Amino acid sequence: MDTTGPTPDRAVRPGGARGRSGGLRDTLEGYAFAGPFLVAYGLFLIYPFFKGIWISLHDWNLLAVAFNPAAKHFVGLKNYVHMVWGQHLVWGVDHLVWARAIGLAAVVAALALASRGRLPWRTAVPLAVVGVLLFGVALGIHPASDGRWYDRRFWHIVWNTLLFVLLTVPSVTVIALGLAIALNRQSRHAAALRTAFFLSQVLSVTVVTLIWQLMFSPKQGILANLFRTLGLQPIEWITNPQLAMPAIVITTVWWSIGFALIIFLAGLQEIPAELYEAARIDGAGGWRIVRNITLPALSRTTTLVVVLQIILQFQVFGQSHLITRGGPDDSTQVLVRYIYQTAFQNSRLGYASALSVFLFIFMLGFSLLQARLQGSD
Amino acid sequence: MKRTLTLLMAALALSLGATAFGQTEITLGRFFGACEQAGTDIKSAVGEACIIQSIINAFSAADNGIKVNTLPTDWGNYYDQLKAMFAAGNPPNIFVIHKHAIPEFASLGALADLGPDLAQVGIDPNDWTAAGKAAVTYDGKIYAIPMDVHANLWYVNMDIMKQAGLVNADGTPMVPHSPEELLQQAKIVKEKTGKDYLTADFSQFPIGVRLVLSLVWQQNSELFTSTKANVDSPEAKKAVETIVSLFKGGYADPTLNYNDSMQSFINGNAAILVNGDWVVNSLDAQTKDPKVALKHFYVDNFPTLFQTPATWADSHTWAIPSTLKKQNPDEYWAALKLAKWIYDHDLDWARTGHLSVSKSVIANPAYAALPHRQEYANTVNIARDVKQTTHYDAIQNVLNRQLQAIWLTDKPIDQALKDANQQVQDILDQ
Amino acid sequence: MVGSRGRDRVLMPLLTVLAVLWLVPVLWMLSMSLQPNELLARTTSNTFLGLIPIPFTFHNFIRLFTLGLTPRWFLNSMIVSIGMTVLVLALSSMAGFAFARIRFRGRNLVFALVLAGLVIPEQAVFIPLYTMFADWHWHNTYQALIAPRLAVPIGVFLMTQFFRGIPSYIEEAAQLDGANRWTLFTRIMLPLSVPALTTLAILTFLYAWNDYLWPLVSANHKEMFTITVGLASIQSNFAQSEGLGRVMASGVMASLPMILLFLVFQRYVVRGIAMGGGK
């Protein structure tokens, strides 16, 4: 990095930098400081983002276009229709009835909380509207017996991705929080344990998957070997559709607990010691201190961990790609791997871009939801 | 005077440059795995990775002005990365490609039409077997140089078969001739030895797909043609049921992946291994290790369980990007010379267990004398491949997914075949 | 600090056992890297579930150093990770300083646009980036591996938040002393922001080190592989059963420096985050 810096000649005159009015100098200096980032931002994020949307409106074969730039065809929203829609779709009350009932119950609960003043209306109403549209209407749509989704795999893969996030994020958060509370003390022993639990975080995804692929192997795996010595049948993790997803969740939790642990430890160290003293004088025991002091004080830290985890885990790729290859029967196929394969295996760049835009909207939706809920704290 | 001198110097520099810097460096893309210890001694190399790398190294080291830089050796992502390299405008100068992938790449204009230039480097397509020629021909043009035909074989652990009493008087293993006989053999092996009857990679690479394809062909059917999916046929169902009956009886374990199944056979835990011909060489090397349980094995042709003998096969071939000849003729001709060199070492490549596509190699007594070669001599006659399609990779993925769903997740066969049929049809309609 | 002594007697041994179990996968990898390949082809549980490397060999590591590309991949990962970290720190702190401490025209609008970028996932841009870099002939270069991450606004967000929290009298005092903006930034603001920079550095470095999808598509010459892609390339090929020890040795090679780095810096890691990121 060069250290000459921007606008040295302009800034030498003292006093000028004090202008707080948004004058010409401030404007120039502001853009000079923010400039390098803004250039990278525009070039490597904003421009490709809109280019991606543009590609998604085309029938665009990776290889064909590479040899002949004119080989792409504008198809409008066809890729999106193909992705989310189908032939002979019908709406049924009873389709996915339990999931929808639970969802609608949550909507009712949110409204109930709002009416008691526990949740602001400005949070509850948008939530309820989205919830009713999603659970009441959208999830009731399904193909009739003679119908089909245009992309038969898509919604299943969306669900897998969501399931992965729903299993991973709470596990990582709860385990990291528990360990942080237990290990937040000044002893060599605790420090050693903190190191042990953090260690796996520094391994790269390929090392992690390399180890766990073998850990789970019914022939070579350490668990299998242990089971066999005990005279038990080894568990077939990776090839069992019920266990393949848990297997990559376990791998992910093992791998990504370290960073969450450290953020929690940092949060714990910011809680003033006087709070604990006061509680102790009041005669509060260990669990009550945790519940009444530690957890409330950590609420913002917890939000931070959850948000970071959600963003990270939605983009899961390596674990699915390297351990289970999306299988068996697509049970661990996730969105990013589907995007990768659509683009680079099937060469369908247009459709892959449409999938990427969907992932963006999906994550944006979650972020907004999270922001709404957080805003109501 | 000064000017003449300058010109002279320039000419001298050019001629010197031509000799000193006349090295042409070409890039080569392949899978087969890494063999970092490969030297230039082709004769002593064992296994696909090391044999091919020593052939390449020997060419690179030879005094021909050509250096070869071998690019990725990754199997799982090979075609993805190849496509990515093409799309980025820097494909390897020469690369290995399966017969089944040639239509896709050739139809998009990615591969050079080599036909007119073969004679110039001394490659004679008349030396190629019919199967070799068919492998590299698409739309009437020659897009690659064939290296082998590789087929599924029937590897037999003779010690287990002896114990089960399934050995003929002449010392060859008994082979099943129908699904019923297959199941019967499996039962006998299990009862007499307690071992699994058959092992193969049913959970990872598409070896299960190849097995089903073979059994479908044996019933004179196809899983798909160039326009029509035919996966939910009675023949396909029969083929799948035959394999599933082995799982149901506990005679085979569908959860093993490629390495697991190899380990299982090497450890003497299964009587039969179904795998490609590329492991003949490495299995042979393994049996020489006194600690390995597998002592004696026989390499049989894939058995005929229905009417027509057939076993799945494919070919490895070498292709060159279409853009290279115009962009850099030196590299183009260097790549072709390397292709000839590899073809000239087809006998060495055949040591892996692969079937040669060179008539002169096949006529060479040394070829017939390769270990186990006589045992599966008939495989070349029963080897079959899928119909040419530009979407084979995608189709194979669908089939692998649905077949694994059957044996790993107990998905009903009818449902899985119906789903596979729809999905394959979707791909063919694209 | 929390909790009583009596509970500790149960809790700490329990956690110790858990920590040991937590490390089993890593220990197993280490142990396998020290066993002969021929043995591993037969069994991965020779001595005490394979956790003790008996029979013992250094062969895998010797091979790795004399023949393999693993050291090269490791170096690539280092260059990319360090380069990315330095650049992200520089760009983010400068932009964060501008957004937090300079009132320039259009600041709020630009900042809002930058924040909007927080929700764009890498996957939404990697295909266009791929074709763009292909047009520029950037693939298989270090800049192609580094550049995309420079655009991610999380660092700017973090630094802006941090700079906003610095009391304005510090700045004013410096200005009275005649310092210009650049001096103010380098001499006053940057030293104050070491905790925040540490957090951002760790986040960025870990991200760079573990990135897989982008290097997988962008670097396809094996000399340009990062350690993640390189390791994936040796583990997913057919030769694995013949070289498990080798693959594991590469895994150890890839991890050991990171682990050492962490052990050396772990005090700063926790402290840095405690002061910078917990807010």
Q: Which of B86, B401, B407 to mutate to test the interface with A (most CBs of A within 10 A)?
A: B401
Q: Do C114 and A7 touch (CB under 8 A)?
A: no
Whether A138 and A255 map to the same domain: the answer is no
- When CB atoms are compared, the residue of C41, C220, C238 closest to B33 is C238
Confirm whether A3 is domain-assigned: no
- Ranges A9-18, A175-184, C234-243, most confident: A175-184
Whether A142 and A184 map to the same domain: the answer is no
pLDDT in tens, A205-225: 888 988 898 888 877 788 888
Q: How confident is the model at residue A174 (pLDDT cuts 50, 70, 90)?
A: very high
Whether A109 and A139 map to the same domain: the answer is yes
Structure tokens at A2: 């060069």
Nearest chain C CA: its distance from B179 CA (Å): 30
pLDDT in tens, B159-210: 999 999 999 999 999 999 999 999 999 999 999 999 999 999 998 888 899 9
Give the residue with greater pLDDT, A1 vs C262: C262
Q: How confident is the model at residue C1 (pLDDT cuts 50, 70, 90)?
A: very low
Q: In the predicted model, what is the mean pLDDT of residues C167-176? A: 81
Which helix (DSSP H) or strand (DSSP E) does residue C245 occupy? helix C244-276
C231-268 in b/e form (b: 16+ CB < 10 A) is: bbbbbbbbbbbbbbbbbbbbbbbbbeebbeebeeebee
pLDDT in tens, C120-168: 877 778 888 988 898 888 888 999 999 998 998 889 988 998 888 888 8
Poorest-pLDDT segment among A53-62, A191-200, A363-372, C97-106? A363-372
All residues of chain B having their beta carbon less than 8 Å from the beta carbon of residue C130 are: 84, 87-88
Q: How far is CA B203 from CA A239, A323, B153, B253, in A?
A: 7, 12, 18, 10
Confirm whether A10 is domain-assigned: no
B410-421 in b/e form (b: 16+ CB < 10 A) is: ebebeebbebbb
Q: What is the pLDDT of residue A240?
A: 83
What rounded mean pLDDT belongs to chain B? Answer: 90
Q: What is the pLDDT of residue A307?
A: 81
Confirm whether A101 is domain-assigned: yes
C70-82 in b/e form (b: 16+ CB < 10 A) is: beebbebbbebbe
What rounded mean pLDDT belongs to chain C? Answer: 82
Q: Do A11 and C180 touch (CB under 8 A)?
A: yes
Q: What is the pLDDT of residue C272?
A: 59
Nearest chain A CA: its distance from B121 CA (Å): 27
Chain A residue at shortest CA distance from C103: A22
What rounded mean pLDDT belongs to chain A? Answer: 85
Residue B373 pLDDT greater than 90, yes or no: yes
Ordered by where they begin, the domains of chain C are: 1-57 (no CATH), 60-276 (1.10.3720.10)
Nearest chain B CA: its distance from A359 CA (Å): 22
Chain A partners (3+ C-beta pairs within 8 A): B, C
Confirm whether A71 is domain-assigned: no
CB pairs under 8 A between A and B: 90
Q: What percent of chain A has pLDDT over 70?
A: 93
Q: What is the pLDDT of residue B114?
A: 95
- When CB atoms are compared, the residue of B76, B203, B393 closest to A239 is B203
Whether A181 and A241 map to the same domain: the answer is yes
Q: State the ipTM, two decimals.
A: 0.82
pLDDT in tens, C3-31: 455 567 788 899 999 999 999 999 999 99
Residue A7 pLDDT greater than 50, yes or no: no
Ordered by where they begin, the domains of chain B are: 26-149+315-379 (3.40.190.10), 152-312+391-429 (3.40.190.10)
Whether A107 and A180 map to the same domain: the answer is no
Whether A221 and A144 map to the same domain: the answer is no
- Ranges B25-34, B334-343, B394-403, B409-418, most confident: B334-343
Confirm whether A355 is domain-assigned: no
Our CA dihedral for B396, B399, B403, B404, rounded to 10 degrees, sits at 50
Q: What is the pLDDT of residue C5?
A: 57
Structure tokens at B88: 């980025």
Which residues of C make CB contacts under 8 Å with B?
Answer: 38, 41-42, 63, 67-69, 130-131, 133-134, 137, 139-140, 216-217, 220-222, 225, 232-234, 236-242
Give the residue with greater pLDDT, A137 vs B298: B298
Structure tokens at C52: 């003790």
Helical axes B47-61 vs B329-344, angle rounded to 10°:
130
Q: Are strands B150-157 and B297-301 parallel, antiparallel or unpaired?
A: antiparallel
Q: In the predicted model, what is the mean pLDDT of residues A344-348? A: 86
The tokens 């299990």 sit on which residue?
Answer: B190
Peptide linkage before B329 cis (omega within 30 of 0): no
Cα-to-chain-centroid distance, residue A121 = 27
Residue A12 pLDDT greater than 50, yes or no: no
All residues of chain B having their beta carbon less than 8 Å from the beta carbon of residue A341 are: 80
Nearest chain B CA: its distance from A283 CA (Å): 56
Whether A158 and A199 map to the same domain: the answer is yes
The tokens 């196929």 sit on which residue?
Answer: A333
Q: How confident is the model at residue A33 (pLDDT cuts 50, 70, 90)?
A: very high
Confirm whether A72 is domain-assigned: no
All residues of chain C having their beta carbon less than 8 Å from the beta carbon of residue A266 are: 270, 273-275, 277-278
Chain B residue at shortest CA distance from C131: B88
Q: What is the pLDDT of residue B21?
A: 53
Closest C-alpha among A281, A280, A297, A299 to residue A289 = A280
> CB–CB of A346/B79 below 8 Å?
no
3-class DSSP state of B133: helix
- When CB atoms are compared, the residue of C41, C67, C220 closest to B84 is C220
Confirm whether A170 is domain-assigned: yes
- Ranges A163-167, C43-47, C193-197, C272-276, most confident: A163-167
> CB–CB of A343/C150 below 8 Å?
no
> CA-CA distance, B348 to B354, in Å (whole number)?
10
Whether A131 and A185 map to the same domain: the answer is no
- When CB atoms are compared, the residue of C22, C114, C278 closest to A266 is C278
Q: What is the pLDDT of residue C279?
A: 38
Q: What is the pLDDT of residue B186?
A: 96
Q: What percent of chain B has pLDDT over 90?
A: 70
Structure tokens at A244: 């393949």
Whether A32 and A135 map to the same domain: the answer is no
Residue A289 pLDDT greater than 90, yes or no: no
Chain C residue at shortest CA distance from A25: C104
Q: Do A63 and B87 touch (CB under 8 A)?
A: yes
Q: In the predicted model, what is the mean pLDDT of residues A45-64? A: 92
Residue C101 sits at the vertex; the CA angle it makes with C100 and C103, to the nearest 5 degrees, is 100
Whether A217 and A195 map to the same domain: the answer is yes
Whether A295 and A184 map to the same domain: the answer is yes
Q: What is the span of the domain harbouring residue A179? A: 152-346
Whether A144 and A208 map to the same domain: the answer is no
Q: Do A345 and B263 touch (CB under 8 A)?
A: no
Q: Do A349 and C127 touch (CB under 8 A)?
A: yes
Confirm whether A127 is domain-assigned: yes
- When CB atoms are compared, the residue of C237, C240, C242 closest to B31 is C237
All residues of chain A having their beta carbon less than 8 Å from the beta carbon of residue B88 are: 66
pLDDT in tens, B33-66: 777 778 889 998 988 888 999 999 999 999 899 9
Q: What is the pLDDT of residue B16?
A: 43
Residue A16 pLDDT greater than 80, yes or no: no
Poorest-pLDDT segment among B141-155, B363-377, B402-416, C49-63? C49-63
53-82 in B: which are within 8 Å (CB) of C?
70-77, 81
Domain count, chain A: 3
Nearest chain C CA: its distance from A273 CA (Å): 9
Q: What is the pLDDT of residue A93?
A: 86
Residue A342 pLDDT greater than 70, yes or no: yes
Q: How many CB atoms lie within 10 A of CB A219?
A: 23
Structure tokens at A351: 């459709």
All residues of chain A having their beta carbon less than 8 Å from the beta carbon of residue B76 are: 325
pLDDT in tens, A306-327: 888 888 899 899 899 888 888 7
Q: How far is CA B204 from CA B32, B256, B363, C238, in A?
A: 16, 8, 37, 11
- Residue C199 C-beta-side C-alpha neighbours within 13 Å: 25
Give the residue with greater pLDDT, A282 vs B250: B250
pLDDT in tens, B79-121: 888 888 888 788 899 999 999 999 999 998 899 999 999 999 9
Residues in chain A: 377
Q: What is the pLDDT of residue A147?
A: 84
